Structure 1
Amino acid sequence: MTASAEGLLLTADLLLAGDFTGTTAAGRNRGACIALRTALEIGVDQVLDAAVPGLGDATMRAKLLCLHRYSTERTARRTRAVWSHLCLGCHYHQYEIGPAYDQVRVWRVEVGELVRELAR
């Protein structure tokens, strides 16, 4: 079974709502970042696979470079920016605090809008 972008957005919402007992806020924020990044990647893959079959095998960085040809420049730019932020939010480093709840909420709104734009 494959995940859908909408399902991953709902997962991020649940994580941000704190509905999971036994988890830390930092863990929920990081988990939400992973769900959001994956949802965004699914949206990008759907656009590019429809335009150029087989492009889905490329790296995400390469896909983001191609995206401006198959969506608006603004959408492509916003997608690259939020994807980069989410990548940083997904990775754990001992010496970093990790993404704050408010940051992840902003990214959630942005990813939701981008997934809808990319689906058009």
Structure 2
Amino acid sequence: MTAPGSEGRRGTARRRTRARRDGRTGPRDHALPPGPRPTVPERLAVVDRLLDGSVPAAGGVWSRATAWILRIALEQSVDELWSRTEPDLMRCPMRAQLLALRVLADPATAARVAALWTALSHATHHHDYELAPGVTELRRWRDDTARIAQDLAAAEP
């Protein structure tokens, strides 16, 4: 039994079902502006600018913003692979896509993608008791994202 006011998992599922009935299918429907989205290299160039400190308007959120952009670039690399090989997988949750990636990519690459996505997902969520990711960690994640994007782009169906 859940405490009053906390609906737990069932409440979340009910809200999703209600949203689908109302014609709203999720946050992705309205998150992308019209027009072409930035490419992975363009996203990595923005990350480089954030890491160099050449975006002073980013203020204190630059490190989490950098992690978010890296996660989006990683997810976009996986999406581009699926668009070439299995377009239906693009509609699946990312965790399911990471499991399916083991079949198409070599196991080492699939494991690297999953580990990086998990680290970036953790870094993008703010917790008062944790420090934001540091520059060294962000640079390593940036390099890993670039390598993985190249590996996935070269993957044969």
Q: Are the equivalent residues in 2 in contact too, given 1:48–1:70 (CA < 8 A)?
A: no
The answer to which of 77-86 and 49-58 deviates more is 49-58
* Alpha-carbon separation, structure 2, partners of 1:44 and 1:56: 8
* Alpha-carbon separation, structure 2, partners of 1:20 and 1:36: 16
Instruction: Pick from 74, 92, 100 the counterpart of residue 58 of structure 1.
Output: 92
Match of 2:29 in 1: none
Instruction: Pick from 33, 41, 51 the counterpart of residue 75 of structure 2.
Output: 41
After TM superposition, the score normalised by the length of structure 1 is: 0.93
Q: Are 2:40 and 1:5 aligned? A: yes
Count of residues in correspondence between the two structures: 119
**Which structure has the larger Rg over C-alpha atoms?**
2
Q: CA deviation at 1:22?
A: 3.9
Q: Are the equivalent residues in 2 in contact too, given 1:48–1:67 (CA < 8 A)?
A: no
After TM superposition, the score normalised by the length of structure 2 is: 0.72
* Alpha-carbon separation, structure 2, partners of 1:36 and 1:84: 12
Which letter does structure 1 place at the counterpart of 2:43? Answer: L
The answer for unaligned runs of 5 or more in structure 2 is: 1-35
Instruction: Pick from 75, 79, 96 the counterpart of residue 109 of structure 2.
Output: 75
Which letter does structure 2 place at the counterpart of 1:117? Answer: D
Match of 1:118 in 2: 152
The answer for unaligned runs of 5 or more in structure 1 is: none
Structure 1 stretches (4+) deviating beyond 6 angstroms? none
